[in-house]
Amino acid sequence: MSPATREALRDERGTITLYLLGLVVLAVTLVAGVTAVTAAHLARIRLLDVADGAALAAAGGLDDSAYTAGVGEAVPLSEEAVARRAADYVAGHERPANVLGWQLGPGTGTPDGHTAVVDLTGEARLPLVGGLLRDLGVRVSIHVTSRARADVGP
């Protein structure tokens, strides 16, 4: 081997370490990102489960007007009754571990007097990157809406 070839090989020594380091950083970033997205999706599913239950509980309760005016094709609902029943349902359920906080949104109520709508907003707890994001002032807020209607059959 000529001295020039040896010198060229010596200059290339150690460059694989830089490539491996870059690959490891890329892999760790990918794993952290996939884990965070999965945790956010699971938090959304859990919030949607609670919103569905709250909407069903609110749609199943009779409004006081049903006792005097009767029931038509669907159970009559009022804004206050839907909001109260939804709040009671949410308060009676334990918050999921990967949700930092939740609250009913302003859209909770009934648009037509027969359909219960529950808006639920929560903040997701993300593993691996959640602390870093909070330090940067970034919050992962999740908003779900659920609708339920109690139709009266023949």
Predicted TM-score (pTM) of this structure: 0.76
pLDDT for 62: 66
What does the pLDDT look like over 70-118, one tens digit per residue? 566 677 788 898 999 999 999 999 998 889 889 999 999 998 888 899 9
For residue 71, being part of any structural domain is answered with yes
The answer to whether position 84 is within a domain reads yes
Q: Is the residue at 62 inside a domain?
A: yes
**65 in any annotated domain:** yes
Residue (of 118, 119, 116, 105) closest to 76 by Cα position: 116
For position 130, what pLDDT does the model report? 79
Residue 118 belongs to domain spanning: 3-149
Let me know if residue 49 belongs to a domain: yes
- Residue 154 in any domain: the answer is no
How many structural domains does the chain have? Answer: 1
Give the pair of three-digit tokens for residue 18.
Answer: 């830089």
pLDDT at 129: 84
Q: pLDDT tens digit string along 16-42?
A: 888 899 999 999 999 999 999 999 999
| Cα–Cα distance, 51 to 147 (Å, whole number) | 9
**pLDDT tens digits along 38-71:** 999 999 999 999 999 999 999 887 655 555 555 6
Flag whether 26 is in a domain.
Answer: yes
On whether residue 70 sits in a domain, the answer given is yes
